[in-house]
Structures are given as C-alpha cells and as structure tokens.
Structure 1
Amino acid sequence: MLGQIVSVNVGKPKELIYKGKSIQTGIEKQPVDKPLLLTKVNFVGDGQADLVNHGGEDKAVCVYPFEHYAYFSSEVGLSLSYGAFGENLTLLGLTEEKVCIGDEFQIGEAVVQVSQPRQPCFKLAHRHDTKDLPLRFQETGYTGFYFRVLSEGVVSKEDSVQFLRRHQDEITISYINEVQYKDKSNKEKVKKILRVPFLSQSYQKTFMKRLQLLEKQN
C-alpha cells in the first residue's frame, strides 16, 4: 500500500464569528511547499485551538483523502483548495476502507501510526457555510483519520507514504465509522474495536461507554 502526498497544510488558530459568537479555531490550513518538522504533537507551524477535542499525541496529524474532494465539489457544490477540511495532509491512495487502526507508515524522516477516524465538528459547517456538512461526513464515511507520530522527522510534499506494518485485527477506519454512526447497537462489533490496542484513548472511552450502555440494555 503506497500513498502520495498531494498537499501539506498548516495553520495557527484564529478568531472567527459563528452564529454571532467569537470562536477560536485552527481549521483554516494553508498549503506549504517547504519541508516541515513533524513532532509528536504536530507539524511545526501548525496549531489547534480546542485541545480537548483536537490535537495531542493521538491526533497529531489530521489526514484527509484527496479522493473525496470530487464528491464535495460536485455533489455539495463547495469550492475547494487543499486543506479545505482542516487536514494537515491531503493524501492520495489511503482511503478509509483501506487504512486500519495501527497501520504504520514512513513519511519522509517520520514514522506515523493510524490512531482513529476524524470526528467532523460544527467548524466544518462554519468554514464552508454548509449547515449539514458534518452530517454528510458521517453519512458518506468520508471522515478522514488521524496519525500519531512514533518517530519525529522532516516531511516534505515530495515524500512518498510507505506502508510499514499492520496490526493483526485489521480494523479499518470505515469499519469504525459504520459502528460509530450507523450500526450503533452491535455489541460484538464494539468489542472487536476495543480489542485493538492502538486505538486512541478518546475512542476507547467512547466505545467503552457504548459497550456499558448496551450491556445494561441486555
């Protein structure tokens, strides 16, 4: 499995007005051509405003598949540039049905690992003035995903994304999205997801709460 970097995108948090209220958000990323150091928590030059729901070691790099740009351009009517969905890496060849939790990749000097799906939030709707955009992410499964950084290093747009290894359970991002948003009451699938040791802490908590609720119902 080989991925290609279409764009590297970074941006610092800035103030925006949403429904008459001021919010801080780092969703507005801009493409950069120069090599950047990827640290354990982000690319140098990048930042997140809401560190409860974004950022941290489990969500150091937000990834979005280039393949989905066509859908949001043609079906939703959005005018898009790279980084449009707040992603740090716009990648070709690594979609949600191909990528599994725990997959490791070499990107330039850095080694990264898939940790969880991306959770679409209201700031996507605000940025593109499209109220149902987060819901469309959920319904299509075109969520993107996150990398944690196992080994820091310099990354450039010209670098390839080389697959290194995969966890034996092979739980794809698409599988998790299906259980998260559609097949919510499937206890066995929830248990299967929780058995993957490389799932982010926040998603472990989410699915543990789901499992506890389902067991109470039975």
Structure 2
Amino acid sequence: MTYGDGKEMESAIRKQQVEEAFLTKDGFHGDGVADLKHHGGPERAVCVYPYEHYDYWNNYFETQLPATAFGENLTVTNMLERNICIGDIFQIGEAVIQVTQGRVPCNTIDRRLDMKPLLKEMVKTGYTGYLCRVLEEGTIRADSVIRPVAKDPQQVSVLYANEINFHRPKDIDGIVKVLGAEDLADEWRQFLTKRLTKLTASS
C-alpha cells in the first residue's frame, strides 16, 4: 500500500468484497494479516464493523468511504458497540463467533484513508468495531443471517470497555467490571490486570 508522499507498507486492510468465504479458528480462507503482532490470532480471528458508522464518518469528514474502509471482515447492521457485549455469541451462516474485545484502531486506517484525525475520532467516539474468536468453523455468505445465540451475563458492552480502556484508565471499579467478562481476550485481560495492580498498589 502506498500512502503519504509515496511511502510503502505491507497491509491487509484493503479487503475485497466476496459472496462467500470459509471461516476457520484463525480467520477467513483467502484473508491475510500483515502485522501479526497487532492483528490476527484465534482471539482476533474476525473483525466486525457496524455499517451505521459509515454515515457518521461520511458526514463528519464530508467524504464517501469505500466498502470495507476499516479493514473489517464483516460489515454488519443493528450491532452497534453499545449493544454488543464481550462474550456475546452469534451464529452467522454455518459459523459461530464470540466477541472478545473492542478493536484498538491503528495508524494503518489513517494511512489508508488519509482522513486525519480519523484515528483520534474513532478512539474518542468508541466507534472502533470489535473482534471475535471462532467457536464453530463454517461458510459465511454475504446474505447470511446473523442470529444471537447467547448474551453474556456480565453485560459489559464493547463501548463501555472502550471507554474504560481509552478514557478512564484510573477507574478501578470500571476496570474490575470489564475484567468480570469471562470471555475477554487474554491480551486485554493482561494489560487491564496490570493497570489495576498499579492503581491498587498506589491507592
């Protein structure tokens, strides 16, 4: 991908729309991950982004975003961050996925779209999308119906987790609440636990 004044980088953010793809525990067949440190892996196998946010960003930046602008695997409706909780399980086509964490947006998004300060605004609004692990592999089609299978009992929304992570780093009660979501991604559990340990040691 070329960005800025002719700089180049390897990235899998420019995804193409397809009618169907097979989803494995490690992600979709035919999909790629360039930055393995920050993307991909079993707990980040699927990136989901709410379609409704496209209107928000198009209006905010007075632009017209392309499809899959945020490098998401699935663009979905009626599944906003405020309504989706860590641990929620959904069936999509033949596959079953579980939400593990909010997406932490990276500067590749800014580089692809050249819409600064998009990255800062994603963090500010919490409109980041979210990541999922795969509980059951299978084929997903563009017209597959998304069906809720189970709501997580702790009811920690992705938007709330984003709020605690990005904007309330010293909120002990909030961190404890997010950590209470049993199916939270290990990476988030580790850094939030470390943050909590520091806060409680100094309080």
Q: TM-score band (shorter)?
A: over 0.9
Aligned with 1:46 (options 11, 15, 31): 31
Partner of 1:11: none
For 1:213 and 1:187, the matched residues in 2 are separated by: 10
Q: How far apart, CA to CA, are the structure 1 residues paired with 2:153 and 2:27?
A: 28
State yes or no: 1:73 paired with 2:34.
Answer: no
Work out which of the residue numbers 91, 107, 113 in structure 2 matches 1:122.
107
Return the match for 2:183 from 198, 202, 211: 198
| 8 Å Cα contact 2:26-2:41 kept in structure 1 | yes
Figure out how many residues of one structure are paired with residues of the other and give that number.
203
Percent same amino acid among aligned pairs?
39
Match of 2:11 among 2, 25, 33: 25
- Is the alpha carbon distance of 1:75 and 1:17 closer, same or farther for their aligned partners in structure 2, counting shifts above 3 Å? closer
Show CA shifts across 1:36-74 (max 9, x none): 100001111101101111000000010000010001101
State the alpha-carbon separation in 2 of the partners of residues 177 and 22 from structure 1: 30
Q: 1:102 aligns with which of 60, 82, 87?
A: 87
Q: Which residue of 2 aligns with 1:87?
A: 72
TM-score by length of 2: 0.95
Tell me, yes or no, if structure 1 residue 59 matches structure 2 residue 17: no
Letter in 1 for 2:13: I
Task: Return the TM-score normalized by structure 1.
Answer: 0.89
1:183 CA drift (Å) = 1.8
Alignment root-mean-square deviation, CA: 1.3
Moved more, 17-26 or 191-200: 17-26
Q: Which residue of 1 aligns with 2:200?
A: 215
- 1:167 corresponds in structure 2 to 152
- Asked if the contact 1:65–1:95 (Cα under 8 Å) also holds between the matched residues in 2, the reply is yes
User: 1:78–1:128: 8 Å Cα contact kept in structure 2?
Assistant: no
| Residue deviations 1:82-132 (CA, integer Å, cap 9, x gap) | 201100000001000000011000100000000100111000110111231
Q: Is the 8 A contact 2:91 2:146 kept in 1?
A: yes
- How big is the shift at 1:138? 0.7
Mean Cα deviation higher: 180-189 or 116-125: 180-189
CA distance in structure 2 between the aligned counterparts of 1:73 and 1:132, rounded to whole angstroms: 13
CA contact (8 A) 2:98 2:135 kept: yes
Higher strand proportion (structure 1 or 2): 1
